[in-house]
Amino acid sequence: MNKDIAKVLLSEQEIDSIVTKIAADIDRDYAGSDKKLVLLCILKGSVVFMGDLMKKIKLPVEIEFMRVSSYGVSTASSGRINILLDLHRKDLSECDILVIEDIIDSGRTLSYLTEYLKLGGAHSVKTCTLLDKPSRREVDFTPDYIGAFIPDEFVVGYGLDYNEKYRALPYVGILAPEVYENR
Ligand code: IMP
Ligand code: MG
């Protein structure tokens, strides 16, 4: 295990079962739609989850990417959302957008993006997150698909970073507090 990880929260095997379950739920829920199912990956943290999830969804999917600012260099949310990479599609009214997130903390990113995509004219907008920290919520927001609820700990791995590090770890782990306390 990486020396900076205090504890593994979700192992590779646990993540695999979670992703399999979410993919089956998505297949069931969108089976009757005649719109294009578009998985919208929120860069960068969701890229590993999205890659695994899209392979397990049996329905045809298209993929898109957006990047929004969330955290700077600290482990606390700034509360401000800036769009750094936007979605440019002319056929949003023909699309069922499923936003793919790595983790929900304050809820600000997903509540903002959901409104933004609806105002943009998407036929439907739903949200899917691998991890949810409900105790940290600052705005009232409930995602449609949730992989696992986790306690208020700063986690890394499986796409999630701390200062751009640890994204490639195959599991989700709690970052040892001394890593960010002693900076
Ligand atoms: P929210 O807008 O506060 O819900 O923030 C969601 C974003 O914050 C996620 O997409 C992550 O980029 C980041 N984030 C929140 N908690 C963590 C964590 O424990 N580890 C790494 N990134 C996190
Ligand atoms: Mg991040």
| Domains of the chain listed by start with CATH number | 12-153 (3.40.50.2020)
pTM, two decimals, is 0.94
Among 52, 96, 105, 132, the one annotated catalytic:
105
pLDDT tens string 85-141: 999 999 999 999 999 999 999 999 999 999 999 999 999 999 999 999 999 999 999
CA-CA-CA-CA torsion sign (174, 177, 179, 181): positive
Atom of ligand 1 nearest to the CA of 161: 21
Atom of ligand 1 nearest to the CA of 153: 19
pLDDT tens string 37-87: 999 999 999 999 999 999 999 999 999 999 998 654 455 555 568 999 999
Q: Any bridge partners for residue 95, and if so which? A: 36
Helices vs strands, H then E, count in the chain: 4, 9
Ligand 1 binding pocket includes 124 (Cβ within 6 Å): no
Q: Retrieve residue 36's tokens.
A: 């294009």
157 within 8 A of 140, measured Cβ to Cβ: no
